Amino acid sequence: MSAPIKAPEGAPFARILATGSYRPSRVVTNDEICQTIDSSDEWIRERSGITERRWAGDDETVATMSAAAAEKALAAAGLASQDVDVIIVATCTHPYQTPSAASEVASMIGVPTAAAVDISAACAGFAYGLSMAQDMIRGGSAGHVLLIGAEKLSAFTDIYDRSTAFIFADGAGAVVVGPSSTPAISPVVWGGDGDQLQAINMTQNWVDFKANGFDIFPTISMNGQQVFRWAVSEMTRVCRESLDTAGVTVEDLDAFIPHQANNRITDALVRALELPDSVAVARDIITTGNTSAASIPLAMDRMLASGEIHQGGNALLVGFGAGLVFASEVVTLP
Ligand SMILES: CC(C)(COP(=O)(O)OP(=O)(O)OC[C@H]1O[C@@H](n2cnc3c(N)ncnc32)[C@H](O)[C@@H]1OP(=O)(O)O)[C@@H](O)C(=O)NCCC(=O)NCCS
């Protein structure tokens, strides 16, 4: 009989230990956006809540922004990069098919031996990654996971497309996930609707781009109304299920940090969930735009830094986007 294989042994629970963020320095106003689309500052504010956003410059990439956010999160956690076992970058705008942004980050922050992987779950990427990080820690495959949501959406946005040009923006948010003696991340509620594949997609793929003589650069296209309807109806159900799964009610929440897709989607969810006034609601989209996988950690980091939310509070997170896919957890704030 062959020798038994040793089973992995993990920590009893996992928690977010600290956050960090990177916001590109260039502020892009609605008036600047309206130079290439037929729109107005007033329309953009009213329909999306966005007053301005940040766009990265040439020297600011998904990897450099990720590394900058990661270093802040590690410093806040009191950890060295060598303490990181796995780096996950959730992104849909890393411009290389391979190697991954996570491998670039591993090299940049001086921990080239860490396991490194990107995940592609669009605006749900951070919430997907958080569940995966928790499973790695509890499953024994990692001690500390560096989870980063990072996007340079401006590189894949058609500035002449008035259904997307005003929404998308750039930035990176990072968290360090590590072992915990008490539960601090609930079981994930996740899923999708692959039949709505076309609701948010690329205008063409790289192979067609080449076959078509490099004519139309692939950019993100979106059926805004379809996504809006799905987000409001489905995410209400998902958030309720997430609260039930975590064993808490809205009365137990200190914060609601949904993906920053559109302020009106957030408003609709707040109303449908009947959140008490005491729950702090993320509104980072107003000055940050929709940064896809980066939006939840960026919002969390800003809310913690401003004192709007506090360590030890409960936050309901929900990410949703292209796929269509979604994921939600209740977490204890770091
Ligand atoms: C994109 C979005 C802001 C558009 O808002 P909306 O209220 O749905 O707007 P509609 O598409 O219904 O268009 C309403 C009107 O505004 C016009 N319009 C559309 N885009 C416009 C723009 N940028 N500026 C001015 N007018 C615009 C339309 O032509 C339409 O005019 P009409 O009533 O005369 O036909 C909204 O659908 C949305 O946020 N969707 C979800 C997006 C999202 O979350 N994406 C990321 C996925 S995670």
Annotated catalytic, 34? no
CATH classification at residue 272: 3.40.47.10
**pLDDT one-digit tens code per residue, 44-88:** 999 999 999 999 999 999 999 999 999 999 999 999 999 999 999
Q: For residue 92, with 0-12 CB atoms within 10 Å meaning exposed, 13-18 middle and 19 or more buried, which class applies?
A: buried
Say if residue 107 is in the same domain as residue 237. no
> Residue 133 has what pLDDT?
98
Whether 268 lines ligand 1, by a CB cut-off of 6 Å, is no
**For the whole model, what pTM was predicted?**
0.96
Are residues 316 and 174 part of one domain?
A: no
- Give the pairing type, strands 26-29 and 52-55: antiparallel
Summarize pLDDT for 220-269 with one digit per residue, the tens. 999 999 999 999 999 999 999 999 999 999 999 999 999 999 999 999 99
Q: In this predicted model, what pLDDT tens digit does every residue of 125-146 receive, in sequence order? A: 999 999 999 999 999 999 999 9
User: Does 201 map to a domain?
Assistant: yes
Tell me how many domains the chain contains.
2
Query: Atom 4 of ligand 1 has which residue's CA nearest to it?
Result: 224
For the stretch 102-128, pLDDT in tens is 999 999 999 999 999 999 999 999 999
Same domain, 193 and 218: yes
Beta strands of 9-128 (E only): which ranges? 13-22, 26-29, 52-55, 86-90, 115-119
Q: Are residues 223 and 296 in the same domain?
A: yes
Q: What is the pLDDT of residues 296-324, one digit of tens each?
A: 999 999 999 999 999 999 999 999 999 99
pLDDT at residue 11, as a whole number: 97
| pLDDT of res. 23 | 98
Examine the domain organization and report whether 148 and 265 are in the same domain: no
61 with 118, same domain: the answer is yes
Domain that holds residue 71: 13-180
Over range 273-281, report the average pLDDT.
98
Task: Decide which of 159, 180, 201 is a domain's last residue.
Answer: 180
Q: Is 80 exceeded by the pLDDT of residue 1?
A: no
**Could you tell me the distance, in angstroms and rounded to a whole number, from the CA of residue 44 to the centre of ligand 1?**
9
The answer to whether 123 is a known catalytic residue is yes
Q: Is residue 312 part of a domain?
A: yes
The residue from 30, 262, 263, 290 that is catalytic is 290
pLDDT of residue 10: 96
State whether 147 and 165 are in the same domain. Answer: yes
**CA of 201 relative to ligand 1 center, distance in Å:** 17
The 3-state DSSP class for residue 277 equals coil
- Domain closes at, from 180, 205, 221: 180
Ligand 1 centroid from CA 235, angstroms? 19
314 neighbors 330 (Cβ within 8 angstroms): yes
The reply to whether 176 falls in a domain is yes
Bridge partners, 175 (sequence order): 19, 147
Q: Which atom of ligand 1 is nearest to the CA of 222?
A: 45
Burial-class residue 284 by CB neighbours within 10 Å (0-12, 13-18, 19+): buried
CB 36 less than 6 A from any atom of ligand 1: no
Q: What one-character DSSP code corresponds to residue 309? A: S
Q: How far apart are CA 43 and CA 51, in angstroms?
A: 10
Tokens 């989870």, located at residue: 147
* Domain termination residue (choose one: 144, 161, 180): 180
Q: Ligand 1 pocket, 48 CB below 6 A?
A: yes
If one residue of 153, 197, 228, 260 were mutated to test the ligand 1 pocket, choosing by the most ligand atoms within 8 A of its CB, it would be: 228
Give the span between the Cα atoms of 320 and 230, in whole angstroms.
10
pLDDT tens-digit map of 155-181 = 999 999 999 999 999 999 999 999 999
Residues 319 and 274 in one domain: yes
**Residue 295: φ, ψ to 5°:** -70, -40
**Are residues 208 and 169 located together in one domain of the fold?**
no
